[in-house]
Amino acid sequence: MRRWWRRSLARQIIVLLVVTMFGVQAIGFWFFGGERVLAVAAAHQTRMMDSLAALVRLLEDTPPDRHGRILGRANSRDLRFWMSSEPAVDPARAEHPRHHLYTMLGTLLEGSSVDRVLIALGPADGFRLGQRDRRSHAHMTPPHHGDSDRRDRGDRDRRPEGPPRAPPFWRGEDGPPAVGLTVSLQLAGGAWLNAEMAQPRAPRFWALPSLVFIFLSAAVFSVLIVFLVRRLNRPLAALAQAAEHLGRGEPVDPVPEAGPEDLRRTTRAFNRMNDRLQRFVQDRTRMLAAVSHDLRTPITALRLRAEMVEDAESRDSMLKTLEEMQQMVEGVLAFAREDAAREDTRVVDLVALVESVCDDIADIGGEIDFAPAERRPYACRPVALKRALRNLMDNAVRYGARARVALETDAAEIRIIVDDDGPGIPEAEFERVFAPFVRLEESRSRETGGSGLGLAIARTIARAHGGDITLENRVGGGLRAVLRLPAE
């Protein structure tokens, strides 16, 4: 999982933005649900206050013998009224007079005959919360009997049966009854007008329309995020590819400047660096070509003069020295040209390439073995890579009497292993032998010629391909050289 996470910057940005968006949506949905509940409750409270104020005006304008019938007709599913000699709200439980409902009701009742107001939030005393009441609104008033006057007086002074029920908000389902607000108003004659309202129920938290909106908006937002991040990441991917080619020594065209200004500045800096490196290599190549021309002329002149020396021993010594100088100059030029090589990169069978080098060394009498391996296509500069392998195998045959070559591959790199049966070299000299002109004659079994540039050239070629060469002494004796190349 960690490897998947670290593999792509675009993937990390997309995941972080999508997760953040879902988190913000969830938090907003949570707060919106709470605000919706409060808004619904406030709307019901406002409706109750308006109904109560209108009922008070109506009672003031009608005879007392009609009050019971008016109250019975005013009752509804979630709101009911009745008259009593005592308030339904216990003064000890009433809200503080500064509560906003007092202010609202006082404004609505301005100019009326109401002497006192008591308001309580929450269930009223004596109510059985959770008990279902499936009777209709007509059954919430006492049964009619006797004459009209007694019936009106009984309806007026009797508390309706059962608590009011909250209105359904989800598929018409009824929930348990609960009283959310109770108000008692003392009228001019001393009687109390009581009102109770059921607690409104909010929609369920996972209401389908809200969930559909969240997922649709998240899907649209995710598509936009993926599109924008991939668009922003495209210049970065081009820059990374160009840097990879440059690290392998391949010619790189200027990278187009695209994307945000930060990426444009980075691309511009990379192009300037590429130009400077190319100019440096070209200047170095021209300088070495000039030095080569200047050195070859006096060496040739000295060889001609040496041929005229009469003393054979002196003549042979001078010619041998001049030959060594010529080889040294050619070696230096070959070492420097590896950095400026213009060989095209192409895909070859790496196993066949290694096997061909082994065959070349075997043809000139070298004892070498190659362990068979599966076909492995690889993009490289084959001529340069063959030269690096030949230098390693020549050293193994020359100093270790016999070479054994194997090729190993994994997801990260390719390893070409060259083992010999020689005495090895001290570990402290592992890095020094890669320096130009370094020869460890004392650590090898045979006296050899050469200028000491073989390993230096081989490492230069390996690093130009994005790899490297390392040395290690084998447990059973001998030296192991490992040429490592990136798998991609």
- Is residue 479 within 8 Å of 471, Cβ to Cβ? yes
- Among candidate residues 337, 366, 393, the one where a domain is terminated: 337
Same-domain pairing of 372 and 305: no
Higher model confidence: residue 205 or residue 145? Answer: 205
**Both 70 and 148 in a single domain?**
yes
Same domain, 332 and 353: no
Among candidate residues 303, 337, 371, the one where a domain is terminated? 337
The CA angle 165-167-169, to the nearest 5 degrees, is 140
Q: What does the pLDDT read at residue 447?
A: 45
Query: What gap in Å lies between CA 121 and CA 103, rounded to an integer?
Result: 15
Out of 31-45, 216-230, 324-338, which region has the weakest mean confidence (pLDDT)?
Answer: 324-338
Task: Give me the pLDDT at residue 481, please.
Answer: 93
Q: What are the tens digits of pLDDT across the range 66-106?
A: 888 888 888 887 788 888 889 988 888 888 888 888 888 88
- Give the per-residue pLDDT at 201: 61
90/72 same-domain check:
yes
Q: Are residues 110 and 175 in the same domain?
A: yes
Q: Which of 93-102, 246-255, 347-356 has the highest mean pLDDT?
A: 347-356
On the question of pLDDT at 149 being above 50, the answer is no
What pLDDT, in 10s, does the model give residues 284-340?
767 766 776 677 778 888 888 888 888 888 888 888 888 877 777 776 666 555 554
**360 belongs to a structural domain:** yes
pLDDT digits (tens, 9 = 90+) for 376-415: 999 888 888 998 999 999 989 988 888 999 999 988 899 9
Same domain for 284 and 176: no
Neighbouring residues of 347: CB distance < 8 A, sequence distance ≥ 6: 377, 378, 379
Whether the model pTM is above 0.75: no
91 DSSP β-pair partners: none
- pLDDT of 161 above 80: no
Which is higher by pLDDT, 118 or 281? 118
Q: Give helix then strand counts, H and E, for the chain.
A: 11, 11
Of the candidates 459, 461, 421, 423, which has an alpha carbon nearest to the alpha carbon of residue 440? 423
Number of domains observed in the structure of the chain: 3
**Residue 191 within any structural domain of the chain:** yes
Q: Report the range of poorest mean pLDDT among 58-62, 116-120, 233-237, 429-433.
A: 233-237
